[in-house]
Structure formats: structure tokens, C-alpha cells
Structure 1
């Protein structure tokens, strides 16, 4: 089945209007991914099936496999060119890439799922929560990470930047809105601050030229939801 042509699956070419920004995202996110992986209580993934929702060019799964090898993985994203790049870069990592973000045909297949800075772009968060519940095995865990929420003091400015620089549609939700959506889907919901403890580079042309705000974002604002399917 050609998933890209399925009327129920919206696709774009790349997340960013400028494809160069797409390539730079992997390098920018890499330290955050490594920090996130270090927080996981699931130390041994060698027998586990993993899902990366919003995989972009596949960088997170390559980092995860290098640090905590998994049995196999699926990466899904609506950005067709990014998925093609992920496929070309995967090397020996046992991962399949696709554009069907409804995850049809993957019921109860995954032990652990991840998404990084994607849920704020999902129009129907209730449907997404139900889809993730469906594809996780019993006792499966979904880690959803975002700093893009209405509790972020930078959100009004960032919302305009994201809308202007990307091919996506931005949604406005609070941390509590996300928690309620996942509770309604049946998940046991807990969360923590990402509390990134590495050095954050100063980028005068980045999302926040105010460096103090940037530091607060990575240490205080960015949230990791841990969502467990009983």
C-alpha cells in the first residue's frame, strides 16, 4: 500500500521550509537525545521493540541503538524526504521507516515508544493517545518530550517562529492538557523536567537570542512524560 497517497495520512516533504534547517536539527538535538536516554529506567532494550514517532532523519534511533541496542524499531514521520534520508543513513540499525503516523497494522507491537518535540504539532491529540495505546504491548511505556506548550513563557514568540519557519500546523496546549489526554486514553501518567545538565551553546540567531531564557528552557521548561499502558 502506498501510505503517502492514503487520504488519511497527511504528508509533507520536510519539517522546515529551508531543508538546511532539517539537516542541522540532528546535530542540535543530539545532546538532548543522549541526556534523555540516560534518564531511562529501561536499561536493557536488547529484547525490546521500539517506536520513534516523528523520527525525522532517524537520528534518535541511531543514538539509542548505539547506547542501548534494541531488537528492532519503527520510525514514522509525515516528512517524506526526511524518512528517505533516515532510510539511507540507518546502516546496520534494525529499523524500518514509514510515513503512516496512524500506525495501522502495528497493534501491540512495541515495548517502548518515544517522541521528541512532536506532540505540539498533532492536531488530534486524543486520537494520537489512543493510537499509541493501541500499538504498545501491555506494560509498554511511551516517553513524550516537549517544551512547546503554553506554560512556556517563550511560547507566544516561538509559536510565530515555528509557524513561519516550518511546514507544520502548531497547536496550543498546556502540560495539563497533555496529561489529561493521555489519562483519558488509559495511560498511567507521570512526568519530570528534562533538566538537561550539559553545556548549552549560545546561538545569537537561534530560537531565543536571550541566553538566560535558553538556559531556563532546557533546564526548567522542557518536560518528559512517562506514559505507561497497564
Structure 2
């Protein structure tokens, strides 16, 4: 497997991530439900969950009738996901690979590729998009979510607390790689700030068409779950894509 700074970072913190991911409120009550609504009926679909982490999406998609393959660069996360799948009798296939080198995965094999909150972590984004295009069937779709690139710069400032918190945007056009502490824990990962343009161009280069783009906002029911989720009705922290081959 190709080793790079993001691969190393996630392997270092994967055990802690597998503990906090299932109890992260924003992930459980907003990020996942929004993506599942966007994906719609997946029954009978063959899906690659690329950057699957501890396998939360893989398991839910399998419960909904999809045939799922999960891939992640973190070996511990894959072993954790395998264990959970076995305990539920779900039969999900999992592999440890770098997203920019899906060696052993057949071309034109998947109806859907899911990349939930992982493209911003890829050191080789171009290579990752190239591989996604390769493994998708003709007319297959990529569903992806990222942190909104407007708010990922290294020098982003924050003022206030709770629902009144404000964000100060600086240096949007300056690419940056830096360590960031994940919410809900004291673990750091490598974050990469890219502009919207830098996300879009690899899609065009590798024959993928953006068919939908959402600056995601929570429903009233989701906003009632927590103040951080309610705050997302003021600042679009997450960006969701639908991309077709």
C-alpha cells in the first residue's frame, strides 16, 4: 500500500477514532442521515465505501440491501469494521488500501462510490479521483461529502460560542497542510485545505460530471439534537456532491 502523510496520520489515531466515531453527534445525527437521504434507494446496488473508517456507513448500506465493499488506509479501522460485520452477519468485504491505488479492485465494478468526509484527507486527490472513475460503472455515481473549503484554511478564526459562534475566513487561496484536533477527542490528524476549484478540476479531468451540489443544512428535527448541529443552519460547514461517470 502507498504510504503518505495522511495514511500515516490515520493509522496513528485509528483506534481512538473507532471509539469516538459512533458517539459523535454531528456524524450520527446529521452527516450520515443527510448522505443516506441523498443516496436514496440503494437496494441491489454494488457500492464501494472508500474511506470507510470503522464501517458505520458500510453496515447501514448493507442493512438497506446494498452489496458493499469497504476500503480504508487504516489497518486498525479495517479490523474493527470486519469484527462488527461478522457480529451482525453482514458479509461485508473490507480491504486496507490507499485511495489513490485501488490495486486488485476491478474496473467498472461499482454502481456507487461513497466518499464520506475523506477527500479532504487525500494527499493524492487527483490519483484518488482517477481510481474512482476507473472502478465506477458507466453512469455510476460518486456521492461525496467534504468540509466546505471556504472554512478549512489554516488561519480560520472563530469568535463566540454556541449558536452565536462566528467564523472569520482568511487566506482562502493559500493551500495548507496542517494538524487539526478532531471534535470529541484529543486526537490530531493531517488536514488539507483546498479551494473549490481544486476539488472540481480532477472530476473534469477524469471524465466525471457534477450533477448535484448541496451546502447541507439540517432539518428542524436534526437541529434539535444539539447546538453544533443547529449552528449548521447559519454556516454551511459541509459540502455534498453527486458526480456521475
Tell me whether the two structures share a fold, i.e. TM-score over 0.5.
yes
- Segments of structure 2 that go 5 or more residues without pairing to the other structure are 158-177
Secondary structure of the residue that 2:193 maps to in structure 1?
A: coil
TM-score normalised per structure 1: 0.78
Residue 201 (structure 1) aligns with: 226
SS state at 2:132 partner: helix
The reply to whether residue 179 of structure 1 matches residue 218 of structure 2 is no
- What is residue 123 of structure 2 aligned with on the other side? 123
Residues in 2 aligned to 1:38 and 1:125: alpha-carbon distance in whole angstroms: 26
Distance in 1, Cα, partners of 2:113 & 2:14: 28
Larger strand percent: 2
The question of whether the paired residues in 1 share the 8 Å contact of 2:50 and 2:115 is answered with: yes
Secondary structure in 2 matching 1:84: helix
Which stretches in structure 1 are left out of the alignment for 5+ residues? 1-5, 203-210
Query: Given the superposition, is the C-alpha separation of residues 96 and 20 from structure 1 closer, same or farther in structure 2, using an over 3 Å criterion?
Result: same
Larger displacement relative to structure 2 (173-182 or 113-122): 173-182
The answer as to whether partners of 2:116 and 2:145 remain within 8 angstroms in 1 is: yes
Aligned length: 208
Verify the 8 A CA contact 2:152 2:193 in the aligned structure 1: no
Aligned-pair CA distance for 1:15: 5.3
The structure-2 alpha-carbon separation of the partners of 1:217 and 1:179, relative to structure 1 and needing over 3 Å to count, comes to farther
Of residues 216, 219, 222, the one that matches 2:238 is: 222
Counterpart of 2:80 in structure 1 is 85
The TM-score, its normalising length taken from structure 2, stands at: 0.74
Once residues 119 and 217 of structure 1 are traced to their aligned partners in structure 2, the CA distance between those partners, rounded to angstroms, is: 23
**8 Å Cα contact 1:116-1:146 kept in structure 2:** yes
Cα gap change, 1:118 to 1:109, in 2 (>3 Å): same
Could you say what secondary structure the match of 1:169 adopts?
A: strand
Give the drift of 1:128: 0.7
Alignment match, 2:22: 26
2:180 equivalent among 149, 154, 161: 161
Q: Secondary structure at the match of 1:220?
A: coil
CA RMSD of superposed structures (Å):
2.8
